[in-house]
Chains A and B, each alone.
Chain A
């Protein structure tokens, strides 16, 4: 290997990387919150027995789970502006794509979690005179959330990784800054290696934490 590694250009410009990191965290936070909040609604919808709720949410889930998220992002960036009178920024398009995609996946996690709670819990709540919504809120969901934690944290990690796709529409996040540094300094090796290592350094502890969480859950049950 004849390459002379030289990381100077990468570290000479910390603002670029910081701006990228900030952008990554920003879109991650938006998509995490939206994705999980919507996901809860989707999960409840998929659990419902009323056809007019169940069918549309199922269609939503099937569509957003079975199309690639990059296709969704590009659709929101290029196609949606044709239908609406206002501008769709890169952030909006990427956030819409990633959030809706995550809502579909986390919706299934929520649904499975709710369904895993045994029927006796519903009956205990009903026998006390609780309405369906009260039973769901006070008895079922609190127990379900605990079980869903590993899957939901996995989903959060996936959302973080998906933030890189926003670079496809030129949103300023970490990978996009990597591209910038590489093209300005003609050092793609160093630039992309650093970006990869930064992501790894940040995500690896989180992934390990999820394993620990999973193992603790399995032992606890």
Chain B
């Protein structure tokens, strides 16, 4: 196994350690299933995510795409299946009933995973009682135990990267939707995650604010970060992603490069979905 730490594609001198070992996927999902009560939402999904991958996840409402994403940082606990981060499986497997395998997740392990896998939410979920700077610093201080000054400096850098250093002392209530989402992105970035998850980051935004967020995400993509993006913005997905996953009925219905899936969809359902979202042009 060969590892090399490097700053793949970074455009400035602040970069996070990205594992550029290509023999072990950064994230490997095997046989993922998720039940909510009696309903099975995820019905068996396998994914390999290599470092530097930019994966766009598309699908109709209710297809399970958000649930899938939320399983990857264990905001939802998988009912079955295995998730490996940089080669190490998360959770402890134990024999369950009827010959199945149960995986036990401890809070301590999951909090460690979430420090390495960042998430940006559709509803931003900024902390309203803290300034933008306070929000970005919070993970550094409370979770990573950084001293206040060091955390403040780092947080300011992140805000500058998303173009909001002048809003550092502003409270979220006074920010526009696009600004809030960019602060949320800075907050996730500050933790230096190996993997970034975006759960429909622009769906809650007014149309004219969508662009600034997509631009920010594109910048991150150019830095070579590993990202999974659930989105409705098919046009953006085409330009942003190196792989598209189309989810339907809780499974990966079709996957491939953007050209393959979006220009030449093989499956009927993919074609139907794209026909409904035909507002994009190549």
Q: Which of A120, A128, A146 contacts B187 (CB 8 A)?
A: A128
A48 to chain B, nearest CB (A): 14
Count residues on chain A whose CB falls below 8 Å from chain B CBs: 18
User: Which candidate, A17-25, A37-45, A69-77, A134-142, is the interface stretch facing chain B?
Assistant: A134-142
Residue of A nearest to B143 (CB): A129
- Asked whether A129 and B119 contact (CB < 8 A) given A123-B75, A134-B143, A143-B129, the answer is no
Segment with Cβ contacts to A, from B109-117, B161-169, B210-218: B109-117
Specify which chain B residues have a CB less than 8 angstroms from the CB of A138 in the assembled complex.
138, 142
A126 contacts the other chain (CB 8 A): yes
| Closest chain A CB from B113 CB (angstroms) | 8
- Check if B87 is an interface residue, CB within 8 A of chain A: no
Binary contact track A119-154/B, C-beta < 8 Å → 1, others 0: 011011111111110100011001100100000000
Known: A129-B111, A129-B115. A124 touches B127 (CB 8 A): yes
Interface centre among A124, A126, A139, A146 (most CB of B within 10 A): A124
| Contact status A143-B125, CB under 8 Å | no
Within 8 A of A (CB), among B104-152: 107-108, 111-115, 118-119, 121, 123-129, 138-139, 142-143
Residue in contact with A123 in the complex, picked from B107, B111, B125, B191, CB distance below 8 Å: B125
Q: Is B188 an interface residue (CB 8 A)?
A: yes
Instruction: Choose among B73, B108, B128 the residue that contacts A127 (Cβ–Cβ < 8 A).
Output: B73
Q: How many Å lie between the Cα of A142 and that of B18 in the bound state?
A: 36
Q: Is the CB of B139 within 8 A of A129?
A: yes
Residues of B within 8 A of A126 (CB): 75, 114
Q: What is the size category of the interface that chain B forms with chain A? A: 20 to 34
Known contacts A129-B191, A134-B143, A143-B128: A120-B123 contact under CB 8 Å: yes
In Å, the complex CA distance between A123 and B113 comes to 14
Given A129-B139, A131-B107: A124 and B126 interface contact (C-beta under 8 Å): yes
**Complex contacts, B115 vs chain A, CB 8 Å:** 128-129
Residue of B nearest to A135 (CB): B142
Q: A139, B127: Cβ atoms under 8 Å?
A: yes
Q: Which residues 59-79 of B sit at the A interface, judged by CB distance below 8 A?
A: 73, 75
Instruction: Give Cα A57–Cα B52 distance, bound, in whole angstroms.
Output: 50
A124 and B125 contacting across the interface, CB-CB below 8 Å: yes
Q: Are A127 and B138 in contact (CB under 8 A)?
A: no
Residues of B within 8 A of A132 (CB): 107
Across the interface, name the chain A residue whose C-beta is closest to B187.
A128
Complex contact B143–A127 (CB within 8 A): no
- Provide the residues of chain B in CB contact with A123, threshold 8 Å: 75, 121, 125
- Residue positions of B touching A, CB distance < 8 A: 73, 75, 107-108, 111-115, 118-119, 121, 123-129, 138-139, 142-143, 184, 187-188, 191
A interface residues with partner B (beta carbon < 8 Å) = 120-121, 123-132, 134, 138-139, 142-143, 146
